[in-house]
Structure 1
Amino acid sequence: MGKTNPTYRDHVRKWREDTDRFRRALRRERQESFDELLNHADQVAHAGMYYNSTNPTETILLSICTCQQHQIRQLRQRVDDLEEGTA
């Protein structure tokens, strides 16, 4: 049997390994934030595998941005609800 192409999750795992020295150089609270970003990439792995970019880092960053934007929208909605007195 021939070799298979790495999956999106394989790329995320490799990216995590490649950035480990960067992560360790961060202060603890920033390490936690960095970990959250990589967790975002894992959260949308189902979509990441469909993008099929020649540059896996592009897909990882797109996944992170998508999850952050989702969080921003949720927070905006919560603020709007609180300002309207509905929450």
Structure 2
Amino acid sequence: MGRTNPTYRGFLDGYEGEFDDYRRALRRRHQADFDRLFDGARAFADAAGYANHLDRDTLVLVSMLLAHEERLREQSDEIARLRAAVEAGDEAPDSVADERRTDGAQ
């Protein structure tokens, strides 16, 4: 037999579509932030699909929060790495030197 519930990814696409008017009303600089929230929710769609018995609105929010936590952890790890490099006496840690080359600054 077929599924009785739509897939989580299908639900998420429809749920995001419900916010089209809201997204359009946002200032342009905030629209990309809004899009990243739903990108974060999509990143954990596999896990949310397994939790089919839970409220799907809640799953979207938890997925967004989890993606946010992941970004915070990655930034915290990068800050710790940069601090350690500075304390060790490195003049320009690799990522900073790479950014300088990418930006064109020498």
Settle same-fold status: TM greater than 0.5.
yes
Aligned residues: 87
Q: Which of these two proteins has the greater Rg computed from alpha carbons?
A: 2
1:10-37 Cα deviation digits (max 9, x unpaired) = 1111111111111000011100100010
Whole-angstrom distance in 2 between the partners of 1:27 and 1:37: 16
Rounded Cα–Cα distance in structure 2 between residues aligned with 1:35 and 1:18: 13
Shift in alpha-carbon separation, 1:81–1:3, aligned structure 2, 3 A: closer
- Percent pairwise identity: 32
Distance 1:38 1:51, change over 3 A: same
Structure 1 residues 72 and 18: alpha-carbon distance in aligned structure 2, compared to 1, 3 A threshold: same
- Aligned match of 2:36: 36
Q: Quick check: 1:53–1:59 contact (8 Å CA) kept in 2?
A: no
Find the counterpart in structure 1 of residue 80 from structure 2: 80
Cα deviation, residue 3, structure 1? 6.5
Tell me which moved more, 46-55 or 9-18. 46-55
Where do 1:61-80 residues align within 5 Å? 61-80=61-80
Report deviation, 1:54. 4.2
User: Is the 8 Å Cα contact of residues 23 and 34 (structure 1) preserved in structure 2?
Assistant: yes
List runs of 5+ in structure 1 lacking aligned partners: none
Partner of 2:10: 10
C-alpha distance in 2 between matches for 1:77 and 1:3: 41
16-25 or 45-54, which deviates more:
45-54
Mapped to 1, the partners of 2:3 and 2:66 lie a distance apart of 31
Where 2:23 maps in the other structure, the secondary structure is helix
Aligned residue for 1:46, secondary structure, equals: helix
Q: TM-score, with normalisation over the residues of structure 2?
A: 0.75
**Which amino acid in 1 is paired with 2:5?**
N
